[in-house]
Amino acid sequence: MRVSLILLSLLILSSCSKSEQAASGAGKELIASSIYGGDRVEEGKWKSVVSISKLNYKDEVTTSFCTGTLIDKKTVLSAAHCFKRVKDYYLRSAAITLDNIDAKERSFIRIKNVRIHPDYTGENSASDFALIDLESEANVSDDEILPIYTSTDYEKGQDVELVGFGKTEAGTNGIKFEVSTQIREDLQIEFSAGGNGKDTCAGDSGGPLFIKNEEGVFALAGVTSRTPDDANSYCGDKTIYGKAAHAMKWIESERLIDKALALNSKESIDVLKLAAKSFRKYYKVYQHLGEYYLKFSMHELAESALLKAIILRKDDKRSLDLLRELYSVTGDIDKEITILKRLLFLSPGEESYFLRLDFFGQTSEAEIARGLGRFRSGDIHMARADLELHRDNSRAAFVLSFCEFKSRNYEEAKIILNSIKEDIPFVDIRDSRGDSFLMAAVFEGEEEIVRELLRFKPNLEVKDSYGNNLAQIAWWAKEFSLVKLMASLGVEWNANDYFQQFIYFIQGERISEVRFFLDMGVDINLVGPKGERAINLARETGNLELIKLIENYGKE
Protein backbone atom coordinates (compact mmCIF):
# COMPACT_ATOMS: atom_id res chain seq x y z
CA MET A 1 0.00 0.00 0.00
CA ARG A 2 2.84 2.41 0.90
CA VAL A 3 4.55 1.73 -2.45
CA SER A 4 1.32 2.35 -4.34
CA LEU A 5 0.79 5.69 -2.57
CA ILE A 6 4.32 6.83 -3.37
CA LEU A 7 3.93 5.85 -7.02
CA LEU A 8 0.58 7.64 -7.17
CA SER A 9 2.17 10.81 -5.83
CA LEU A 10 4.87 10.54 -8.50
CA LEU A 11 2.22 10.25 -11.17
CA ILE A 12 0.51 13.39 -9.89
CA LEU A 13 3.81 15.22 -9.91
CA SER A 14 4.37 14.28 -13.51
CA SER A 15 0.62 15.20 -14.53
CA CYS A 16 32.23 34.12 -5.46
CA SER A 17 32.23 36.27 -2.77
CA LYS A 18 30.01 36.10 0.18
CA SER A 19 26.46 35.91 -1.15
CA GLU A 20 26.08 38.29 -4.11
CA GLN A 21 22.49 38.87 -3.08
CA ALA A 22 23.71 40.32 0.17
CA ALA A 23 26.20 42.46 -1.71
CA SER A 24 23.45 44.07 -3.73
CA GLY A 25 21.01 44.47 -0.85
CA ALA A 26 19.56 47.84 -0.04
CA GLY A 27 21.56 49.84 2.43
CA LYS A 28 24.69 47.70 2.24
CA GLU A 29 28.01 49.51 2.40
CA LEU A 30 30.01 47.93 -0.41
CA ILE A 31 33.69 47.87 0.52
CA ALA A 32 36.37 46.15 -1.56
CA SER A 33 38.34 44.56 1.23
CA SER A 34 40.10 41.44 2.35
CA ILE A 35 39.69 39.89 5.77
CA TYR A 36 38.38 43.24 6.93
CA GLY A 37 40.47 44.94 9.59
CA GLY A 38 43.14 42.22 9.45
CA ASP A 39 46.81 41.71 8.57
CA ARG A 40 48.77 39.82 5.99
CA VAL A 41 49.57 36.26 7.09
CA GLU A 42 53.23 35.51 7.73
CA GLU A 43 54.92 33.04 5.39
CA GLY A 44 54.29 29.45 6.48
CA LYS A 45 51.29 30.22 8.71
CA TRP A 46 47.83 28.74 8.10
CA LYS A 47 49.25 26.44 5.42
CA SER A 48 45.97 24.52 5.11
CA VAL A 49 44.16 27.64 3.83
CA VAL A 50 44.13 27.78 0.02
CA SER A 51 43.03 30.15 -2.71
CA ILE A 52 40.51 28.93 -5.29
CA SER A 53 41.65 30.74 -8.40
CA LYS A 54 40.96 31.04 -12.10
CA LEU A 55 43.26 29.62 -14.77
CA ASN A 56 43.79 31.45 -18.05
CA TYR A 57 44.14 29.84 -21.47
CA LYS A 58 47.89 29.42 -20.83
CA ASP A 59 47.17 27.44 -17.66
CA GLU A 60 48.45 30.28 -15.49
CA VAL A 61 46.91 31.12 -12.11
CA THR A 62 45.15 34.49 -12.23
CA THR A 63 42.57 35.98 -9.86
CA SER A 64 41.36 34.35 -6.67
CA PHE A 65 37.57 34.11 -6.41
CA CYS A 66 37.09 32.10 -3.20
CA THR A 67 38.96 30.52 -0.30
CA GLY A 68 39.02 26.97 1.02
CA THR A 69 40.62 24.78 3.68
CA LEU A 70 42.46 21.49 3.21
CA ILE A 71 40.89 18.79 5.37
CA ASP A 72 43.37 16.26 3.96
CA LYS A 73 46.06 16.50 1.31
CA LYS A 74 43.66 15.90 -1.59
CA THR A 75 40.42 17.47 -0.31
CA VAL A 76 39.34 21.09 0.22
CA LEU A 77 36.24 22.25 2.11
CA SER A 78 34.73 25.48 0.77
CA ALA A 79 31.33 27.12 0.13
CA ALA A 80 28.69 25.88 -2.31
CA HIS A 81 27.85 29.39 -3.56
CA CYS A 82 31.39 29.67 -4.97
CA PHE A 83 30.44 27.10 -7.63
CA LYS A 84 27.46 28.47 -9.54
CA ARG A 85 28.62 27.47 -13.01
CA VAL A 86 28.51 23.99 -14.51
CA LYS A 87 31.03 21.65 -12.92
CA ASP A 88 33.13 21.27 -16.09
CA TYR A 89 34.05 24.96 -15.93
CA TYR A 90 35.87 24.48 -12.62
CA LEU A 91 37.57 21.30 -13.77
CA ARG A 92 38.88 23.14 -16.81
CA SER A 93 39.34 26.75 -15.71
CA ALA A 94 39.98 26.76 -11.95
CA ALA A 95 42.53 25.37 -9.52
CA ILE A 96 43.70 25.70 -5.94
CA THR A 97 46.97 27.32 -4.93
CA LEU A 98 48.78 27.82 -1.63
CA ASP A 99 50.71 30.81 -3.01
CA ASN A 100 49.93 34.50 -2.75
CA ILE A 101 49.38 36.38 -5.98
CA ASP A 102 52.62 38.33 -5.52
CA ALA A 103 54.78 35.20 -5.07
CA LYS A 104 57.69 34.84 -7.51
CA GLU A 105 56.42 31.43 -8.57
CA ARG A 106 52.88 30.15 -8.22
CA SER A 107 52.11 26.45 -8.38
CA PHE A 108 48.60 25.04 -8.52
CA ILE A 109 46.66 21.80 -8.31
CA ARG A 110 43.81 21.07 -10.69
CA ILE A 111 40.32 20.29 -9.47
CA LYS A 112 39.16 16.72 -10.07
CA ASN A 113 35.60 17.04 -8.77
CA VAL A 114 33.28 19.45 -6.96
CA ARG A 115 30.48 18.15 -4.73
CA ILE A 116 27.72 20.38 -3.34
CA HIS A 117 25.96 19.65 -0.05
CA PRO A 118 22.52 18.17 -0.91
CA ASP A 119 20.70 20.50 1.50
CA TYR A 120 22.07 23.67 -0.13
CA THR A 121 19.26 25.39 -2.04
CA GLY A 122 20.87 28.64 -3.20
CA GLU A 123 21.68 32.09 -1.87
CA ASN A 124 20.72 32.65 1.77
CA SER A 125 20.56 28.87 2.26
CA ALA A 126 22.18 27.01 5.13
CA SER A 127 24.47 24.01 4.44
CA ASP A 128 26.58 26.26 2.19
CA PHE A 129 29.31 23.66 1.73
CA ALA A 130 31.32 22.38 -1.22
CA LEU A 131 33.84 19.54 -1.23
CA ILE A 132 36.68 19.84 -3.75
CA ASP A 133 38.60 16.73 -4.77
CA LEU A 134 42.11 17.50 -6.08
CA GLU A 135 44.01 15.81 -8.90
CA SER A 136 47.12 15.45 -6.71
CA GLU A 137 48.23 16.01 -3.13
CA ALA A 138 48.91 19.50 -1.79
CA ASN A 139 52.43 20.27 -0.60
CA VAL A 140 51.60 20.38 3.12
CA SER A 141 52.56 18.15 6.02
CA ASP A 142 50.03 16.23 8.10
CA ASP A 143 50.72 18.57 11.03
CA GLU A 144 49.81 21.61 8.92
CA ILE A 145 46.30 20.26 8.25
CA LEU A 146 44.30 21.36 11.27
CA PRO A 147 41.65 19.15 12.93
CA ILE A 148 37.89 19.70 12.72
CA TYR A 149 36.22 21.41 15.67
CA THR A 150 33.84 18.66 16.82
CA SER A 151 31.59 20.69 19.12
CA THR A 152 28.38 22.08 17.68
CA ASP A 153 27.81 24.49 20.56
CA TYR A 154 29.20 28.00 20.14
CA GLU A 155 29.26 30.66 22.84
CA LYS A 156 28.81 34.39 22.30
CA GLY A 157 32.14 36.17 22.76
CA GLN A 158 34.20 33.07 21.96
CA ASP A 159 37.54 34.05 20.32
CA VAL A 160 38.01 33.04 16.68
CA GLU A 161 40.49 33.54 13.83
CA LEU A 162 39.36 34.35 10.28
CA VAL A 163 41.59 33.64 7.27
CA GLY A 164 41.03 34.31 3.57
CA PHE A 165 42.34 35.38 0.15
CA GLY A 166 39.73 38.09 -0.54
CA LYS A 167 40.18 41.48 -2.20
CA THR A 168 42.36 44.07 -0.49
CA GLU A 169 41.48 47.72 -0.03
CA ALA A 170 43.98 48.47 -2.80
CA GLY A 171 41.81 46.44 -5.21
CA THR A 172 44.05 43.37 -5.50
CA ASN A 173 43.17 39.91 -4.32
CA GLY A 174 44.86 36.56 -3.80
CA ILE A 175 46.85 37.51 -0.68
CA LYS A 176 46.23 35.57 2.53
CA PHE A 177 45.00 37.75 5.41
CA GLU A 178 43.92 37.00 8.99
CA VAL A 179 42.03 38.73 11.78
CA SER A 180 40.95 37.92 15.34
CA THR A 181 37.34 38.49 16.38
CA GLN A 182 34.50 36.86 18.36
CA ILE A 183 31.36 34.75 17.96
CA ARG A 184 28.17 36.81 17.76
CA GLU A 185 25.34 34.24 17.85
CA ASP A 186 24.74 30.47 17.63
CA LEU A 187 22.22 29.66 14.84
CA GLN A 188 21.91 25.86 15.22
CA ILE A 189 23.74 24.51 12.13
CA GLU A 190 25.27 27.96 11.48
CA PHE A 191 26.60 30.84 13.58
CA SER A 192 27.61 34.47 13.14
CA ALA A 193 30.89 36.16 14.02
CA GLY A 194 32.72 39.45 13.51
CA GLY A 195 32.11 43.09 14.22
CA ASN A 196 33.79 46.40 15.05
CA GLY A 197 35.49 46.45 11.65
CA LYS A 198 36.80 42.87 11.84
CA ASP A 199 35.14 40.54 9.38
CA THR A 200 35.43 38.45 6.23
CA CYS A 201 34.58 40.09 2.93
CA ALA A 202 34.43 39.53 -0.85
CA GLY A 203 36.63 36.64 -1.95
CA ASP A 204 36.87 35.10 1.53
CA SER A 205 33.84 32.89 0.89
CA GLY A 206 34.43 29.24 1.70
CA GLY A 207 37.39 30.17 3.87
CA PRO A 208 37.89 29.04 7.44
CA LEU A 209 37.04 30.26 10.88
CA PHE A 210 39.31 28.65 13.47
CA ILE A 211 38.64 28.09 17.18
CA LYS A 212 40.98 26.57 19.77
CA ASN A 213 39.69 23.16 20.85
CA GLU A 214 39.93 21.55 24.30
CA GLU A 215 43.58 20.66 23.65
CA GLY A 216 44.37 24.31 22.91
CA VAL A 217 44.93 23.57 19.21
CA PHE A 218 43.30 25.65 16.46
CA ALA A 219 40.58 23.62 14.72
CA LEU A 220 38.42 24.32 11.67
CA ALA A 221 35.07 25.38 13.11
CA GLY A 222 33.33 27.40 10.40
CA VAL A 223 33.06 27.94 6.64
CA THR A 224 32.44 31.51 5.44
CA SER A 225 28.99 31.78 3.86
CA ARG A 226 27.21 35.14 3.59
CA THR A 227 26.40 38.54 5.05
CA PRO A 228 23.08 38.43 6.97
CA ASP A 229 20.31 40.87 6.11
CA ASP A 230 20.57 42.60 9.48
CA ALA A 231 24.28 43.42 9.16
CA ASN A 232 25.11 47.14 9.31
CA SER A 233 27.50 46.85 6.36
CA TYR A 234 28.53 44.24 3.82
CA CYS A 235 32.06 44.05 5.28
CA GLY A 236 33.14 44.91 8.79
CA ASP A 237 30.09 43.95 10.83
CA LYS A 238 29.24 40.25 10.85
CA THR A 239 29.07 37.17 8.65
CA ILE A 240 27.26 33.83 8.81
CA TYR A 241 29.41 30.68 8.92
CA GLY A 242 28.40 27.06 8.41
CA LYS A 243 29.47 24.74 11.23
CA ALA A 244 32.27 22.45 10.03
CA ALA A 245 31.05 19.62 12.28
CA HIS A 246 27.72 19.71 10.42
CA ALA A 247 29.50 19.46 7.07
CA MET A 248 31.59 16.49 8.22
CA LYS A 249 28.54 14.21 8.52
CA TRP A 250 27.93 14.67 4.81
CA ILE A 251 31.63 14.42 3.97
CA GLU A 252 31.96 11.11 5.84
CA SER A 253 28.97 9.81 3.89
CA GLU A 254 30.58 10.90 0.59
CA ARG A 255 33.81 9.12 1.48
CA LEU A 256 31.95 5.92 2.30
CA ILE A 257 30.09 6.14 -1.01
CA ASP A 258 33.45 6.46 -2.78
CA LYS A 259 34.70 3.39 -0.92
CA ALA A 260 31.59 1.40 -1.84
CA LEU A 261 31.93 2.30 -5.52
CA ALA A 262 35.61 1.36 -5.49
CA LEU A 263 34.79 -2.06 -3.98
CA ASN A 264 31.99 -2.60 -6.52
CA SER A 265 30.93 -5.84 -4.87
CA LYS A 266 28.40 -7.18 -2.42
CA GLU A 267 30.56 -5.68 0.33
CA SER A 268 29.55 -2.27 -1.03
CA ILE A 269 26.10 -2.71 0.54
CA ASP A 270 27.49 -2.84 4.11
CA VAL A 271 29.63 0.24 3.43
CA LEU A 272 26.64 2.14 2.09
CA LYS A 273 24.64 1.22 5.20
CA LEU A 274 27.37 2.90 7.24
CA ALA A 275 27.06 5.94 4.96
CA ALA A 276 23.33 6.06 5.68
CA LYS A 277 24.02 6.08 9.43
CA SER A 278 26.51 8.92 9.00
CA PHE A 279 24.09 11.13 7.04
CA ARG A 280 20.63 9.63 7.12
CA LYS A 281 18.72 11.84 4.72
CA TYR A 282 21.04 11.65 1.72
CA TYR A 283 19.33 10.52 -1.46
CA LYS A 284 22.60 9.48 -3.09
CA VAL A 285 23.25 6.78 -0.44
CA TYR A 286 19.88 5.16 -1.13
CA GLN A 287 20.36 5.54 -4.87
CA HIS A 288 23.57 3.49 -4.73
CA LEU A 289 22.08 1.02 -2.25
CA GLY A 290 19.20 0.44 -4.66
CA GLU A 291 21.66 -0.03 -7.50
CA TYR A 292 23.63 -2.72 -5.64
CA TYR A 293 20.52 -4.46 -4.34
CA LEU A 294 19.26 -4.60 -7.93
CA LYS A 295 22.62 -5.86 -9.16
CA PHE A 296 22.45 -8.79 -6.73
CA SER A 297 18.73 -9.49 -7.37
CA MET A 298 17.60 -8.30 -3.91
CA HIS A 299 14.49 -6.80 -5.45
CA GLU A 300 12.39 -5.85 -2.42
CA LEU A 301 15.33 -4.11 -0.77
CA ALA A 302 16.14 -2.38 -4.06
CA GLU A 303 12.61 -1.01 -4.34
CA SER A 304 12.61 0.22 -0.75
CA ALA A 305 15.99 1.99 -1.12
CA LEU A 306 15.12 3.62 -4.45
CA LEU A 307 11.76 4.88 -3.18
CA LYS A 308 13.58 6.46 -0.23
CA ALA A 309 15.95 8.19 -2.66
CA ILE A 310 13.03 9.56 -4.67
CA ILE A 311 11.21 10.77 -1.56
CA LEU A 312 14.36 12.68 -0.58
CA ARG A 313 14.84 14.05 -4.11
CA LYS A 314 11.79 13.63 -6.30
CA ASP A 315 13.61 14.63 -9.51
CA ASP A 316 16.48 12.16 -9.07
CA LYS A 317 16.40 10.69 -12.57
CA ARG A 318 19.06 8.08 -11.84
CA SER A 319 16.99 6.54 -9.01
CA LEU A 320 13.85 6.68 -11.14
CA ASP A 321 15.61 4.96 -14.01
CA LEU A 322 16.89 2.22 -11.70
CA LEU A 323 13.35 1.78 -10.36
CA ARG A 324 12.07 1.53 -13.94
CA GLU A 325 14.70 -1.14 -14.61
CA LEU A 326 13.64 -3.02 -11.45
CA TYR A 327 9.97 -3.09 -12.49
CA SER A 328 10.98 -4.19 -15.97
CA VAL A 329 13.00 -7.08 -14.53
CA THR A 330 10.21 -8.12 -12.15
CA GLY A 331 7.50 -7.70 -14.81
CA ASP A 332 5.46 -5.13 -12.86
CA ILE A 333 4.09 -3.31 -15.89
CA ASP A 334 1.75 -0.90 -14.07
CA LYS A 335 4.53 0.42 -11.84
CA GLU A 336 6.94 0.64 -14.75
CA ILE A 337 4.40 2.71 -16.69
CA THR A 338 4.04 5.11 -13.74
CA ILE A 339 7.81 5.60 -13.52
CA LEU A 340 8.16 5.97 -17.30
CA LYS A 341 5.65 8.83 -17.28
CA ARG A 342 7.62 10.59 -14.58
CA LEU A 343 10.90 10.06 -16.45
CA LEU A 344 9.43 11.34 -19.70
CA PHE A 345 8.16 14.43 -17.87
CA LEU A 346 11.66 15.08 -16.49
CA SER A 347 13.45 14.18 -19.76
CA PRO A 348 10.98 14.89 -22.60
CA GLY A 349 13.70 14.47 -25.22
CA GLU A 350 14.48 10.88 -24.20
CA GLU A 351 12.88 8.90 -27.04
CA SER A 352 13.39 5.50 -25.36
CA TYR A 353 10.92 6.39 -22.59
CA PHE A 354 8.31 7.42 -25.14
CA LEU A 355 8.79 4.27 -27.22
CA ARG A 356 8.53 2.04 -24.14
CA LEU A 357 5.22 3.67 -23.15
CA ASP A 358 4.03 3.37 -26.73
CA PHE A 359 4.90 -0.35 -26.61
CA PHE A 360 2.62 -0.70 -23.57
CA GLY A 361 -0.24 0.99 -25.44
CA GLN A 362 0.17 4.23 -23.50
CA THR A 363 0.71 6.55 -26.46
CA SER A 364 -1.75 9.20 -25.30
CA GLU A 365 -0.32 9.26 -21.78
CA ALA A 366 3.18 9.42 -23.25
CA GLU A 367 2.26 12.45 -25.37
CA ILE A 368 0.73 14.17 -22.36
CA ALA A 369 3.75 13.46 -20.14
CA ARG A 370 6.11 14.63 -22.87
CA GLY A 371 4.03 17.77 -23.45
CA LEU A 372 4.09 18.61 -19.76
CA GLY A 373 7.85 18.07 -19.71
CA ARG A 374 8.38 20.22 -22.77
CA PHE A 375 6.33 23.01 -21.19
CA ARG A 376 8.38 22.74 -17.99
CA SER A 377 11.62 23.04 -19.97
CA GLY A 378 10.38 26.12 -21.85
CA ASP A 379 9.62 24.53 -25.24
CA ILE A 380 6.13 26.03 -25.57
CA HIS A 381 5.74 25.30 -29.30
CA MET A 382 6.45 21.58 -28.99
CA ALA A 383 4.46 21.33 -25.77
CA ARG A 384 1.44 22.73 -27.57
CA ALA A 385 1.88 20.17 -30.39
CA ASP A 386 1.67 17.30 -27.86
CA LEU A 387 -1.07 18.71 -25.64
CA GLU A 388 -3.36 20.00 -28.40
CA LEU A 389 -4.21 16.37 -29.21
CA HIS A 390 -5.64 15.81 -25.73
CA ARG A 391 -7.94 18.68 -24.84
CA ASP A 392 -10.31 16.17 -23.29
CA ASN A 393 -7.70 15.44 -20.60
CA SER A 394 -7.85 17.95 -17.73
CA ARG A 395 -4.08 17.87 -17.11
CA ALA A 396 -3.30 18.46 -20.77
CA ALA A 397 -5.97 21.14 -21.15
CA PHE A 398 -4.79 23.10 -18.14
CA VAL A 399 -1.18 23.28 -19.31
CA LEU A 400 -2.30 23.90 -22.90
CA SER A 401 -4.20 26.92 -21.57
CA PHE A 402 -0.99 28.10 -19.88
CA CYS A 403 0.84 27.66 -23.21
CA GLU A 404 -1.75 29.86 -24.94
CA PHE A 405 -1.48 32.40 -22.12
CA LYS A 406 2.31 32.59 -22.48
CA SER A 407 1.79 33.12 -26.21
CA ARG A 408 -0.52 36.03 -25.23
CA ASN A 409 -3.57 34.28 -26.68
CA TYR A 410 -5.63 35.25 -23.64
CA GLU A 411 -9.07 34.57 -25.10
CA GLU A 412 -8.07 31.08 -26.19
CA ALA A 413 -6.52 30.43 -22.77
CA LYS A 414 -9.81 31.42 -21.12
CA ILE A 415 -11.86 29.21 -23.47
CA ILE A 416 -9.71 26.18 -22.67
CA LEU A 417 -9.92 26.84 -18.92
CA ASN A 418 -13.71 27.15 -19.17
CA SER A 419 -13.84 23.74 -20.84
CA ILE A 420 -12.25 22.01 -17.81
CA LYS A 421 -14.98 20.71 -15.52
CA GLU A 422 -13.05 18.58 -13.04
CA ASP A 423 -10.51 19.31 -10.33
CA ILE A 424 -6.83 19.38 -11.26
CA PRO A 425 -4.23 18.19 -8.71
CA PHE A 426 -1.35 20.37 -9.89
CA VAL A 427 -2.64 23.86 -10.69
CA ASP A 428 0.57 25.36 -9.26
CA ILE A 429 2.73 23.91 -12.04
CA ARG A 430 5.52 26.37 -12.84
CA ASP A 431 6.83 27.48 -16.22
CA SER A 432 10.54 27.57 -17.08
CA ARG A 433 10.87 30.98 -15.32
CA GLY A 434 9.34 29.63 -12.12
CA ASP A 435 6.00 31.46 -12.49
CA SER A 436 2.75 29.66 -11.72
CA PHE A 437 -0.21 30.18 -14.04
CA LEU A 438 -2.02 32.18 -11.33
CA MET A 439 1.05 34.29 -10.62
CA ALA A 440 1.53 35.07 -14.32
CA ALA A 441 -2.14 35.93 -14.79
CA VAL A 442 -2.11 38.27 -11.77
CA PHE A 443 0.97 40.08 -13.07
CA GLU A 444 -0.55 40.48 -16.54
CA GLY A 445 -3.76 41.82 -15.01
CA GLU A 446 -5.96 39.21 -16.68
CA GLU A 447 -8.71 39.32 -14.08
CA GLU A 448 -11.13 36.99 -15.88
CA ILE A 449 -8.45 34.31 -16.16
CA VAL A 450 -7.45 34.86 -12.52
CA ARG A 451 -11.06 34.31 -11.41
CA GLU A 452 -11.29 31.22 -13.60
CA LEU A 453 -8.12 29.82 -12.07
CA LEU A 454 -9.39 30.42 -8.54
CA ARG A 455 -12.08 27.77 -8.98
CA PHE A 456 -9.31 25.16 -9.11
CA LYS A 457 -8.30 26.13 -5.54
CA PRO A 458 -4.67 27.06 -6.27
CA ASN A 459 -2.09 27.76 -3.60
CA LEU A 460 -2.47 31.42 -2.65
CA GLU A 461 0.85 31.39 -0.79
CA VAL A 462 3.01 31.20 -3.92
CA LYS A 463 5.70 33.86 -4.28
CA ASP A 464 7.87 35.05 -7.13
CA SER A 465 11.67 34.88 -7.15
CA TYR A 466 11.82 38.24 -5.32
CA GLY A 467 9.62 37.00 -2.48
CA ASN A 468 6.50 38.95 -3.50
CA ASN A 469 3.13 37.33 -2.78
CA LEU A 470 0.19 37.49 -5.19
CA ALA A 471 -1.20 40.77 -3.80
CA GLN A 472 2.25 42.37 -4.00
CA ILE A 473 2.69 41.10 -7.56
CA ALA A 474 -0.64 42.71 -8.47
CA TRP A 475 0.46 45.95 -6.77
CA TRP A 476 3.72 46.21 -8.68
CA ALA A 477 1.79 45.53 -11.88
CA LYS A 478 -0.61 48.36 -10.80
CA GLU A 479 -3.60 46.00 -11.08
CA PHE A 480 -5.57 47.47 -8.20
CA SER A 481 -8.71 45.36 -8.62
CA LEU A 482 -6.58 42.24 -8.32
CA VAL A 483 -4.88 43.59 -5.20
CA LYS A 484 -8.34 43.94 -3.67
CA LEU A 485 -9.32 40.47 -4.84
CA MET A 486 -6.21 38.82 -3.40
CA ALA A 487 -6.53 40.72 -0.13
CA SER A 488 -10.18 39.59 0.13
CA LEU A 489 -8.93 35.99 -0.18
CA GLY A 490 -6.54 36.46 2.73
CA VAL A 491 -3.33 37.25 0.85
CA GLU A 492 -1.33 39.72 2.95
CA TRP A 493 -1.20 43.34 1.72
CA ASN A 494 -0.81 46.30 4.06
CA ALA A 495 -1.60 49.67 2.49
CA ASN A 496 0.50 51.48 5.10
CA ASP A 497 3.63 49.78 3.75
CA TYR A 498 3.14 51.91 0.63
CA PHE A 499 2.36 55.22 2.35
CA GLN A 500 4.99 57.02 0.26
CA GLN A 501 3.19 56.01 -2.93
CA PHE A 502 -0.11 57.13 -1.38
CA ILE A 503 1.41 60.58 -0.79
CA TYR A 504 2.68 60.66 -4.37
CA PHE A 505 -0.81 59.87 -5.72
CA ILE A 506 -2.33 62.67 -3.61
CA GLN A 507 0.21 65.19 -4.91
CA GLY A 508 -0.49 64.01 -8.46
CA GLU A 509 -4.27 64.35 -7.88
CA ARG A 510 -4.77 60.77 -9.02
CA ILE A 511 -8.25 60.27 -7.61
CA SER A 512 -8.76 56.58 -8.50
CA GLU A 513 -5.43 55.55 -6.97
CA VAL A 514 -6.11 57.58 -3.81
CA ARG A 515 -9.55 55.96 -3.53
CA PHE A 516 -7.88 52.53 -3.89
CA PHE A 517 -5.63 53.23 -0.93
CA LEU A 518 -8.54 54.50 1.15
CA ASP A 519 -10.52 51.38 0.30
CA MET A 520 -7.54 49.26 1.35
CA GLY A 521 -7.54 50.87 4.78
CA VAL A 522 -4.55 53.23 4.67
CA ASP A 523 -4.09 55.23 7.88
CA ILE A 524 -4.48 58.89 6.80
CA ASN A 525 -3.09 60.03 10.14
CA LEU A 526 0.36 58.67 9.29
CA VAL A 527 3.10 61.23 8.77
CA GLY A 528 5.63 61.06 5.95
CA PRO A 529 9.42 61.43 6.40
CA LYS A 530 9.18 65.20 5.84
CA GLY A 531 6.13 65.65 8.06
CA GLU A 532 3.63 65.21 5.21
CA ARG A 533 0.00 64.49 6.11
CA ALA A 534 -2.54 63.26 3.61
CA ILE A 535 -5.16 65.93 4.26
CA ASN A 536 -2.63 68.79 4.17
CA LEU A 537 -1.20 67.58 0.86
CA ALA A 538 -4.72 67.27 -0.56
CA ARG A 539 -5.54 70.85 0.49
CA GLU A 540 -2.35 72.11 -1.16
CA THR A 541 -3.60 70.79 -4.51
CA GLY A 542 -6.84 72.80 -4.27
CA ASN A 543 -8.67 69.82 -5.82
CA LEU A 544 -12.07 69.89 -4.09
CA GLU A 545 -12.97 66.32 -5.07
CA LEU A 546 -9.70 65.01 -3.61
CA ILE A 547 -10.05 67.08 -0.43
CA LYS A 548 -13.64 65.94 0.09
CA LEU A 549 -12.68 62.30 -0.52
CA ILE A 550 -10.00 62.34 2.18
CA GLU A 551 -12.00 64.46 4.63
CA ASN A 552 -15.00 62.13 4.36
CA TYR A 553 -12.74 59.13 4.90
CA GLY A 554 -11.34 60.78 8.02
CA LYS A 555 -14.83 61.36 9.41
CA GLU A 556 -15.66 57.68 8.99
Asked if residue 455 lies in contact with residue 419, where contact means CB atoms within 8 angstroms, the answer is no
CA distance 514 to 296: 72
Residues present in the chain in total? 556
DSSP conformational letter for 42 = P
Q: How far is CA 365 from CA 3, 338, 397, in A?
A: 21, 10, 13
CA distance 449 to 404: 12
Asked if residue 444 has pLDDT above 60, the reply is: yes
Q: Pick from 219, 272, 277, 263: which is nearest to 77 by CA?
A: 219
Asked if residue 30 has pLDDT above 50, the reply is: no
Asked if residue 45 has pLDDT above 70, the reply is: yes
The per-residue pLDDT for 263 is: 97
What percent of the chain has pLDDT above 70? 92
Q: What is the mean pLDDT of residues 481-485?
A: 94
The per-residue pLDDT for 532 is: 80
Asked if residue 172 has pLDDT above 90, the reply is: no
pLDDT band of 1, cuts 50, 70, 90: very low
| Burial 454-485, CB ≥16 within 10 A → b, else e | bebebeeebebeeebbbbbbbbeeebbebbbb
Residue 438 CA neighbour count, 13 Å, CB half: 23
What percent of the chain has pLDDT above 90? 66
Phi, psi (degrees; rounded to nearest 5) at 98: -95, -5
CA–CA–CA angle 425, 426, 427 (5° rounding): 110
Q: Pick from 41, 72, 309, 480: which is nearest to 323 by CA?
A: 309
- What's the pLDDT tens digit per position in 96-127? 999 988 888 889 999 999 999 999 998 889 99
Asked if residue 242 lies in contact with residue 273, where contact means CB atoms within 8 angstroms, the answer is no
pLDDT band of 536, cuts 50, 70, 90: confident
Asked if residue 2 has pLDDT above 90, the reply is: no
Q: What is the mean pLDDT of residues 149-153?
A: 90
Q: How far is CA 283 from CA 173, 248, 315, 522, 554, in A?
A: 38, 17, 11, 49, 60
Lowest mean pLDDT of 107-116, 170-179, 317-326, 393-402, name the range: 170-179
Asked if residue 13 has pLDDT above 70, the reply is: no
| Burial 123-160, CB ≥16 within 10 A → b, else e | bebbbbbbbbebeeebeeeeebbbebbeeeebeeebeb
Asked if residue 278 has pLDDT above 70, the reply is: yes
pLDDT band of 406, cuts 50, 70, 90: very high
Asked if residue 20 has pLDDT above 70, the reply is: no
pLDDT band of 170, cuts 50, 70, 90: low
Asked if residue 29 has pLDDT above 60, the reply is: no
CA distance 164 to 78: 11
Asked if residue 208 lies in contact with residue 243, where contact means CB atoms within 8 angstroms, the answer is no
pLDDT band of 25, cuts 50, 70, 90: very low
Element (H, E) at 181: strand 177-187
Q: What is the mean pLDDT of residues 447-471?
A: 91
